[in-house]
Amino acid sequence: MTVAGAVWLAVLGAAPALAQAPAAGTGPVHERVQAARTDPQLEKKLLTAGRKAAAVCANCHGDKGHSSSELIPVLAGQNPDYLIEQARKYVDGRRRNVFMEGVLKALSVDETAGMAMFYAAQSADPQPNQAPALVEKGRQYFARICIACHGADARGTAHMPRLAGQHPGYVLASLKHFNTQDGVRSSTEMETVVRGMTEADMKAVAAYVASLP
């Protein structure tokens, strides 16, 4: 474990747990995804349901999850457990966006499982034309702080989001939501992380992760 990792584990240990929140990686949707890993018939069924649901999402998130708007997240290549957990957060109010809440509430368990599997299977691309000086500054910041949770390649883990190839505008907006704690997003980990960041740090790190494959 890196020193940064050890420090963050200490910080997390001290953070109060969200008593009402179900543990990430549990619940009916996760159970379906888990079951599909050893059941090809079910996998096919869920992927078909997910692809159909994604036709609606494509209006904003783009074909195969490559959104063209700076403020709409790329879903391609995103980790499935993270997608499922965010869907649950919108539905139970821990993450606020009236439109997303409505859309995700309308999905069945199988459609939610399927859309997560569908998007996770798409390949993500770097966002072109990030300013080199900003990228370099962001690389250094990322290596000091973010790497402990989001990984050396910024592709995250099962429960940690992939940041590589994400729109810098969306990354910046998300960091600001965590920072101002305006109720749009909630995460004890990220609220602690952004406390030490200036707007210049946020912009640099956003450019860096956007530039990654």
Q: Using CB under 6 A, list all residues that contact ligand HEC.
A: 8, 12, 53, 56-57, 59-61, 71-73, 78, 83, 86-87, 95, 97, 99-100, 103, 107, 115, 145-146, 148-150, 160-161, 163, 171, 174-175, 184-185, 187, 189-190, 193, 205
Min CB(168)–ligand HEC separation in Å: 10
Min CB(197)–ligand HEC separation in Å: 6
Question: Nearer Cβ to ligand HEC, position 38 or 198?
Answer: 198
> For 28, how many CA atoms within 13 A lie in the half-sphere containing its CB?
6
End-to-end CA distance of the chain: 25
Min CB(174)–ligand HEC separation in Å: 4
For residue 1, what are the contacts with CB-CB under 8 A and spacing of at least 6? 9
Min CB(39)–ligand HEC separation in Å: 23
Alpha-helical (H) ranges within the chain are: 3-14, 28-36, 40-61, 80-92, 98-105, 109-120, 132-141, 147-150, 168-180, 188-194, 199-211
Question: Nearer Cβ to ligand HEC, position 38 or 139?
Answer: 139
Distances 104 to 21, 109, 159, 173 between C-alpha atoms, Å:
18, 10, 19, 21
Question: Nearer Cβ to ligand HEC, position 42 or 60?
Answer: 60
3-state SS assignment for residue 159: coil
Question: Nearer Cβ to ligand HEC, position 33 or 53?
Answer: 53
Question: Nearer Cβ to ligand HEC, position 13 or 128?
Answer: 13
Amino acid at the residue 32: R
Residue entry with tokens 């590589």: 164
Min CB(43)–ligand HEC separation in Å: 18
